[in-house]
């Protein structure tokens, strides 16, 4: 008859080792519970559509985390990258030299037609921005991207977002092409503040 279990015997003879083993399991369980609690309460809600430069810097962006609005917004960029702009906009360039006059005229037009959604500084935070999905683009950031060539901007502003199901209005029947170019000049100048006396702008301020 077998009377001794070698495994039980080994544990029985090393109670100190067993205690350390149990302690390690306990610590692992506590650590796991702590990390699970942190994950269960994210600081920001998942998959918000809002542009969030801080989130972008934290490197949390990627197709897997994109909300529906973000996908619609990206559709415009992807269409441009794969197909370019429609023929009537291809190769178009701003006929205006950047000057204080052109930039301030563009600024007035921007304040009247664009700021409501895109915000006075192009940060996507205009008065009605929160009611739109996808949210208005961060034009201050877009204008620094290689994609933001003249033809791309003219196309986006003229045709709006109908093809992509967004609230970006088409301006080709609202503004003359010249006015759209002036707005583009204003964007390129970095959306200088128009809130005070806009005649304060001078050619040195906007020279590039
Ligand atoms: C009613 C709100 C609204 C108004 C007014 C508006 N926009 Fe937009 N705009 C949007 C939204 C929403 C988007 C993001 C979705 C998209 O790209 O279609 C957008 C996108 C854009 C884009 C493309 C951005 C990108 O990521 O490529 C440009 C350029 C733009 N707007 C410029 C303008 C200009 C210039 C004006 C004024 C002449 C203007 N918008 C007026 C809502 C608006």
Task: DSSP for 111-130, please give it.
Answer: HHHTHHHH-TTSSS--TTGG
Q: At what angle do helices 6-13 and 15-40 cross, to 10 degrees?
A: 90
Residue 134, burial from CB neighbour count under 10 angstroms (0-12, 13-18, 19+): buried
Measure the CA–CA gap between 41 and 43, rounded to whole angstroms. 6
Instruction: Judge contact between 100 and 106, C-beta under 8 A.
Output: no
The residue whose C-alpha atom lies closest to atom 40 belonging to ligand 1 is 114
pLDDT in tens, 40-93: 555 545 555 666 666 555 545 555 566 777 888 889 999 999 999 999 999 999
Instruction: Judge contact between 118 and 143, C-beta under 8 A.
Output: no
pLDDT in tens, 110-131: 999 999 999 999 999 999 999 9
The rounded Å distance from CA 157 to ligand 1 centre is 7
Q: The domain 89-195 is classified under which CATH number: 1.10.760.10, 1.10.3720.10, 2.130.10.10, 3.40.50.300?
A: 1.10.760.10
pLDDT in tens, 133-145: 999 999 999 999 9
Global confidence as pTM: 0.72
How many Cα atoms sit within 13 Å of 39 on the Cβ side? Answer: 6
The residue whose C-alpha atom lies closest to atom 20 belonging to ligand 1 is 137
């Amino acid at each position: 008859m077998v009377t001794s279990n070698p495994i039980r015997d080994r544990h029985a003879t090393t109670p100190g080792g067993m205690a350390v083993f149990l302690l390690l399991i306990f610590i692992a369980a506590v650590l796991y519970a702590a990390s699970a609690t942190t994950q269960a309460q994210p600081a920001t809600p998942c998959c918000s559509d809002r542009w969030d430069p801080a989130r972008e810097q934290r490197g949390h962006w990627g197709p897997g985390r994109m909300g529906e609005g973000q996908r619609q917004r990206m559709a415009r960029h992807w269409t441009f990258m794969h197909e370019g702009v429609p023929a009537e906009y291809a190769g178009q360039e701003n006929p205006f030299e950047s000057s204080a006059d052109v930039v301030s005229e563009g600024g007035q037009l921007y304040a009247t037609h664009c700021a409501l959604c895109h915000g006075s500084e192009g940060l996507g935070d205009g008065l009605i921005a929160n009611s739109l999905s996808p949210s208005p683009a961060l034009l201050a950031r877009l204008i620094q991207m290689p994609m933001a060539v003249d033809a791309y901007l003219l196309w986006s502003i003229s045709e709006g977002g109908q093809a992509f199901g967004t609230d970006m209005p088409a301006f080709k029947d609202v503004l003359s092409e010249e006015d759209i170019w002036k707005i583009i000049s204003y964007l390129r100048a970095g959306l200088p503040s128009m809130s005070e006396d806009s005649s304060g702008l001078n050619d040195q301020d906007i020279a590039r």
